[in-house]
Amino acid sequence: MLEELGIQPYINAHDTYTVYGGSRMGRDVLEAMREISEIFVDIYEVQRILGNRIAALTKNEGAYITNGAAGGLMLAAAVCMAKGSIFRYKNFPDTGKEADEVILLHCQHNAYDKAIESSGARIVKIGDSDETWDYELEGAISDKTAAVFYFVSSLYERASMPLEKVIKIAHEKEIPVVVDAAAQLPPVENFWKFTGMGADLVIFSGGKSLCGPQDSGVILGRRDLIEDCIRFGSPAHGICRSCKASKEAMAGLYAAIKAYMEKDQKKEYQRLYSMAVQAKTELDGVCRIQADVIENGPVGQTYPRTFLNLPFNISAEKLKDCMRKKHIYIGLEQEHILYISPLNLKQQELETVITALKSCLLESQEETL
């Protein structure tokens, strides 16, 4: 079918991105989706049963399945602003300017902030791109505050306040803390680490390294807030109706989380590591490339990647474009640094990536001669 339609398959040696189609769903996930697609259900009952199972698997009080981490951010913001009132919720995004402020760390401000604002919340930023101080959070909290949102990422660590401190200050004033950990897997322990630290809600994407449906995500955390997610979220009418997860996405996400929990994490790391080492070994020294394996994903996850330090006469951008023309996505780190991530590669695809990269390198060398 794909050939007939002219849909071009790509190889993903970069990372899980929605524009590349996310990740690959496993057989268990597809089977769960197929099975539930055959029947009609009570969607609230399915949400509760699967939510309870996911909560138990991930060592949390409660879980709510949504259509993605972005949808999760919107619903979490709405739940924190509504404070249990269905009347208030139904008026969103009109908040009447009551308790509708969401505090963010300026250094964590990113493209997904819009998902919070789409609930009607108003974002109040604290700190700057270099540092964030206790007194800034303490001073920003008022009776207008609905929640503090915190984005976990190694990219923001330097200027951020540690999550423990944010939780302590916010909880002293009875303000909930919502953590966006959309891409923070592996390690699997992150499923319970942030809630264990006291975060009220934590959000994960289903379509990244979990390899669930691309249009799925999960909110984990406090039982009472998860109850409000069930009350206010889809299929209920209101702004979060647009965050609808189908029964297939729900069943698929559950199957993906179950498979993820059952996976031997050490073995999986070894599998990825040996691919990263193969890329390093085969590319190191080619056209004076210096290749290294580093042990972290782009936002601090625990999976390996192969970094390619290019000589100064080769542009990373040009090499990336050359690979793109061969229908292969690779990562660009800096002007002269590229990387290959094994996360979404099959062994056979890795061979293709290495061969294509060698051929692009020769092309670029001919150009500079």
Ligand X SMILES: *Cc1c(COP(=O)(O)O)cnc(C)c1O
Q: Which is nearer to ligand X, 73 or 361 (CB)?
A: 73
Q: Which of 69, 107, 255, 361 binds ligand X (CB under 6 A)?
A: 69
What is the DSSP-derived secondary structure letter of residue 97? T
Shortest separation between residue 23's beta carbon and ligand X, angstroms: 11
Q: Which is nearer to ligand X, 100 or 113 (CB)?
A: 113
Q: Please provide residue 65's backbone torsions phi and psi, each rounded to the nearest 5 degrees.
A: -95, 130
Shortest separation between residue 286's beta carbon and ligand X, angstroms: 32
Structure tokens at 154: 């190694």
What is the DSSP-derived secondary structure letter of residue 295? S
Query: CA 321 to CA 37: how far, in whole Å?
Result: 40
Shortest separation between residue 284's beta carbon and ligand X, angstroms: 31
Q: What residues numbered 258-277 form the site for ligand X, per CB under 6 A?
A: none
Q: What residues numbered 130-169 form the site for ligand X, per CB under 6 A?
A: 151
Number of neighbouring beta carbons within 10 Å of residue 111: 7
Helix, strand, coil fractions of the chain, as percent rounded to 5: 45, 15, 40
What residue number has its CB nearest to ligand X?
Answer: 68
Binding track, positions 105-124, relative to ligand X; x by CB under 6 A? -------x------------
Question: Are 66 and 220 a contacting pair, CB within 8 Å?
Answer: no
Q: Which is nearer to ligand X, 148 or 314 (CB)?
A: 148
Alpha helices in the chain (DSSP H): 2-5, 27-37, 43-57, 69-82, 86-91, 113-117, 134-140, 163-172, 190-196, 223-232, 247-262, 265-283, 316-325, 347-368
Task: Give the interface segment with ligand X, choosing from 65-73, 79-87, 252-260, 359-367 (CB under 6 A).
Answer: 65-73
Q: Which is nearer to ligand X, 146 or 185 (CB)?
A: 185
Q: What residues numbered 164-223 form the site for ligand X, per CB under 6 A?
A: 180, 182-183, 205, 207, 217
Query: CA 205 to CA 214: how far, in whole Å?
Result: 8
Shortest separation between residue 117's beta carbon and ligand X, angstroms: 14
Q: Which is nearer to ligand X, 70 or 354 (CB)?
A: 70
Q: Enumerate binding residues for ligand X (CB under 6 A).
A: 18, 68-70, 112, 151, 180, 182-183, 205, 207, 217
